[in-house]
Amino acid sequence: MGKKILITGGTGYIGSHTAVELIHQGYEVIIVDDLSNSEQHTIESIGKITGKKPEFHQFDLRDFPSLAALFNENKFDGIIHFAAKKAVGESVANPMLYYDVNLNSMLNLLKLMELYNVSNLVFSSSCTVYGQPSQLPVTEDTPFSLAESPYGHTKQIGEDILHQTTRTNRQLQALSLRYFNPVGAHPSALIGELPVGVPANLVPFITQTAAGLRATLKVYGNDYDTPDGTAIRDYIHVVDLAKAHVRAIERMLNHEQKKSYEYFNIGTGKGSSVLEVIQAFEKINQIKVPYEVVDRRAGDIVKIYADTTRANHELNWKAQLNLDDMMKSAWKWQKTLIT
């Protein structure tokens, strides 16, 4: 039997893709998710892709007794912590919910990791920890700026908690992956991004509009200080991102970490504007996407993209898939949802 990895939020978008990649590499995967922003049938889909359905438990990580019971029944070799609220706009509207869910979930995990001598934690962080950086591309040494949203602030606090905890708990090592903008879907089109309600992210909004599920795509602002006036992000294929988590777990299990707390930027190193993403989608899929420009959205930053040198060399990971791959797989996934 392979090493046993707990994935919190494992039926979600990134979690499900990571579960697939871990199972492919021989790991035993156990998933916890409260299904507040995902579907249980994702477990079946993971099983279809890999030939092995992961063990699944449904509860909120703030439910300490349920989480404690799971730790009591299993000896985990590592934990990948995805479970969190993640919509920037929603966090601005409801900050208390974000601080409650995102921080208390992590604190419960860390308490039980200490109690049950579980040493390895990979944390799902975000480029939002940098705020609006003064220089681009962003390196891991770029200082945190004031967070533009409560969501971003919870990721900053989460990293702070890990940094401080690993200093005092010598048996714990943690590694944060600071994602840029995950998009696309698994090539099987059996798993992908499945937002509940109106999508908060660009690509699901594009695919739903292309599928006729929404009248027009909303472009939030075209007066930013960028070449075409729309916001710029570093988009990364979710399969590339999932593989970064496998490398992170391997790094910890192989005792390759140089410090008890490490962090890496996970992106492509290239920024694309909202309009460039729309144009790429239209070109690769031969379909037009009607859009309208509306006011800027609270909490959004102007532009950000990664310097991935440290991840490339230290983590031995590099993004392999390009924007066309992302847009093609996203549309393939969307079409399975409407058939």
pLDDT at 231: 96
Q: How far apart are CA 5 and CA 11, in angstroms?
A: 14
| Spacing of C-alpha 195 from chain mean position | 13
Establish if 289 belongs to a structural domain.
no
How many structural domains compose the chain? 1
Residue 113, Ramachandran bin (φ over 0: left; ψ between -120 and 50: alpha; else beta): alpha
Residue 229, Ramachandran bin (φ over 0: left; ψ between -120 and 50: alpha; else beta): left
Token pair of 282 as six digits: 């239209």
Q: What is the per-residue burial (b if ≥16 Cβ within 10 Å, else e) of 153-165?
A: bbbbbbbebbeeb
Phi, psi of 4 (to 5 degrees): -100, 120
Establish if 231 belongs to a structural domain.
no
Task: Going residue by residue through the chain, which has 339 residues, state the pLDDT in tens, using 9 for 90 and above.
Answer: 689 999 999 999 999 999 999 999 999 999 999 999 999 999 999 999 999 999 999 999 999 999 999 999 999 999 999 999 998 889 999 999 999 999 999 999 999 999 999 999 999 999 999 988 889 999 999 999 988 899 999 999 999 999 999 999 989 999 999 999 999 999 999 999 988 777 878 999 999 999 999 999 999 999 999 999 999 999 999 999 999 999 999 999 999 999 999 999 999 999 999 999 999 999 999 999 999 999 998 878 899 999 999 999 999 999 999 999 999 999 999 999 986
116 a catalytic residue: no
Establish if 93 belongs to a structural domain.
yes
pLDDT at 87: 86
Q: Which of 27, 130, 151, 261 is catalytic?
A: 151
Q: Sort strands 232-233 and 272-273 into parallel, antiparallel or unpaired.
A: antiparallel
Domain harbouring 126, CATH code: 3.40.50.720
Establish if 109 belongs to a structural domain.
yes
Establish if 323 belongs to a structural domain.
no
Domain that holds residue 138: 4-182+236-267
pLDDT at 301: 86
Establish if 11 belongs to a structural domain.
yes
The closest alpha carbon to 125, from 329, 267, 301, belongs to 267
Q: How far apart are CA 315 and CA 211, in angstroms?
A: 38
The closest alpha carbon to 142, from 264, 44, 248, 254, belongs to 264
Name the pTM for this structure: 0.96
| Spacing of C-alpha 220 from chain mean position | 22
Establish if 200 belongs to a structural domain.
no
Establish if 302 belongs to a structural domain.
no
pLDDT at 179: 95
Which residue intervals of the chain are DSSP H helices?
13-24, 41-50, 64-73, 88-93, 95-115, 150-168, 202-210, 238-253, 274-285, 309-313, 323-337
Given a contact cutoff of 8 angstroms between Cβ atoms, the answer to whether 214 and 295 are in contact is no
